[in-house]
Structure 1
Amino acid sequence: MNFHYIRNTRTIAMAALLAGAVSACTPESSDKELGPLPTASFTAEPLAGNPNKIVVTSTTPGGFMFEYTDDNNNKATREKDTLSYFQAGEYTIQFTVFTSGGFAKAVKKVTIAQNAKTQDILKGGDMGTDSQQFWTVLNTGGTQTAIRIENGAMHFENTGDSNGAIYQKVSVKAGKSYIFSAKVTGNGASNSWFEIYIDTAVPKQGSDYGGNKYISLNTWAGCGAVKFTGDLAVIGCDGTGKNKNGVMSFTKTGDVYIVVKAGSAGGTLGTGGIVMDDVKFLEEI
């Protein structure tokens, strides 16, 4: 008992000593005042030679932190930065700047006159008769979801608990913008997932696939449980690409894998399963 008492007393004394040291190192109060509240301002101009890129530049004096966001879920954080747009239309850019006096916001509208020039770097996305050669079925272990390309579409079906995937490798370039899209239809699944992964991890036969789940239908998250049809990048309710309309970019040049994984746990993918076609992975030119 005495041993425990002495050890605990020493611990308390040490804590008090450290507290005193921290207190002694606390800087003394200063009479320096905060700066005036800022008035946010910025410019938004098309990039020379590419009207689908908008160069945003802070013109706010004294700014040290910047954020540009828009209604297409683009985001930029440098004092002078660039926002990319694939589709023609009007977009609202909101700018937030921080200075020594606080933060302020400003808004501008920009008009994109035409769709961006792109190329589809995915092969066999039209699900034609020769599409199978570009896709590799992935055995994820356990009961496999049935996956086949037939009649111009990719079909995913099961009658109970299952999992399975199919994938394709593509090469991406740092700094370029990409957009994923795929038409999906179904009659309503239960306790199921239909996921798109876009990641550098190499798929391995016999192992489940994880990594960056970009967009998915997920009945637990609130989508895919009732009859649906549309662009997965838009109607998906789970993943890092949620509400980004399929737009993404990469910080490194190299290979990534587009993995489509579907399955159920305590349910099924629904009558007729889930059908996917017109899959595209567009790269800006």
Structure 2
Amino acid sequence: MKHYIGTLAVSAMLACTIPACTPESSTKELGSVPTASFTATPLTTNPNRVVVNSTTKGGFIWNWKVSNGEKSTTSSGEFDTLHFSYAGEYIVQLTVFTNGGYATTSQKITIAKDAPKKDILNTTDWTILNTGGTQTTITNTNGTINFSNTGNTNGAIYQMVMVKGNTPYILSANVKGNGATNSWLEMYCDTIAPVQGKDYGGTKYIAVNTWNGCGTIPFDYNIAEKGCDGKGVGQNGSMTFPKSDTVWVVIKGGSSGGTLGTGGMTLSNIQFLEEQ
């Protein structure tokens, strides 16, 4: 069945100043209602990355949706490379628009194994950052970092790493303490370089923060999962970067009007995992 739409040349109407001027009319044929279709091909070098390519004729807008039953992600473009970090079954849905309308189709994709990951941190190669003022006592014992104090302090450690654009990363660490007051232990991952003698001003990713309700009683957990402050709350440590860049992982701890608690706060198994 053919589809038509009537149009008025409204510009001609606006230009008319005499009654004899009449609008022109025309018809424009629409295309056929589309049938959506696409291919999904795992990369031979990495089966956790799947190339999806619309094979729908006449498309000009493509919306992709990936769902695993718990959460969904979206992307756009006639083709894309989808990243699957974890094993499981996923539904990939394509909605495509043509001049005849739009259509939707979906496929189930099964990922056999979790994507391989590599820790790009050197767990013993941390530099102490003097943040100005009285410094928090920071010790590094084979990659296990302890922040402690007996009053108002601040201090940090940092490490520079290179990241790849549009590649999944997970920042995490186990953090343990006996309960603190008016204190913080913060993790950053930012393109802003630390400067000795100045407090670090990057964007906080995840933190233990007693004002926000965590760290006030004895605790022992993954800060990426249980941290209560920072833009990474609820993200389980996941992040990506828009382009390949130099970033600094910074860990900062201290107190204002309190202490980090008996024995301070200790971080172990600090990781910055890059999906391969």
Paired residues of 1:42 and 1:95 also in contact (CA < 8 A) = no
CA distance in structure 2 between the partners assigned to 1:107 and 1:187 by the alignment: 50
1:99 CA displacement:
6.9
Paired residues of 1:63 and 1:97 also in contact (CA < 8 A) = no
Paired residues of 2:65 and 2:72 also in contact (CA < 8 A) = no
For the aligned residue pairs, the C-alpha RMSD in angstroms reads 3.7
1:21-170 correspondence runs (5 A): 46-55=42-51, 64=61, 66=63, 68=65, 70=67, 71=70, 76-78=75-77, 80-87=79-86, 89-90=87-88, 110-123=109-122, 125=123, 131=124, 134-150=125-141, 153-170=144-161
Residue 220 of structure 1 aligns to a residue in which SS?
Answer: helix
Structure with a larger share of its residues in helix: 1
Paired residues of 1:73 and 1:243 also in contact (CA < 8 A) = no
Which residue identity lines up with residue 88 of structure 2 in the other structure?
Answer: E
CA distance in structure 2 between the partners assigned to 1:237 and 1:40 by the alignment: 43
Which residue identity lines up with residue 179 of structure 1 in the other structure?
Answer: I
1:252 CA displacement:
2.3
* Residue 242 of structure 1 pairs with residue 233 of structure 2: yes
Residue 30 of structure 2 corresponds to: none
Of structures 1 and 2, the larger Rg is shown by 2
CA distance in structure 1 between the partners assigned to 2:103 and 2:229 by the alignment: 32
* Residue 265 of structure 1 pairs with residue 256 of structure 2: yes
1:48 CA displacement:
4.2
Which residue identity lines up with residue 176 of structure 1 in the other structure?
Answer: T
**CA pair 75-178 structure 1, distance change in 2 beyond 3 A:** farther
1:270 CA displacement:
1.8
**Stretches of structure 1 lacking an aligned partner (at least 5 in a row):** 1-37, 126-130
1:203 CA displacement:
0.6
Identity percentage of aligned residues: 50
Residue 224 of structure 2 aligns to a residue in which SS?
Answer: helix
**Stretches of structure 2 lacking an aligned partner (at least 5 in a row):** 1-33
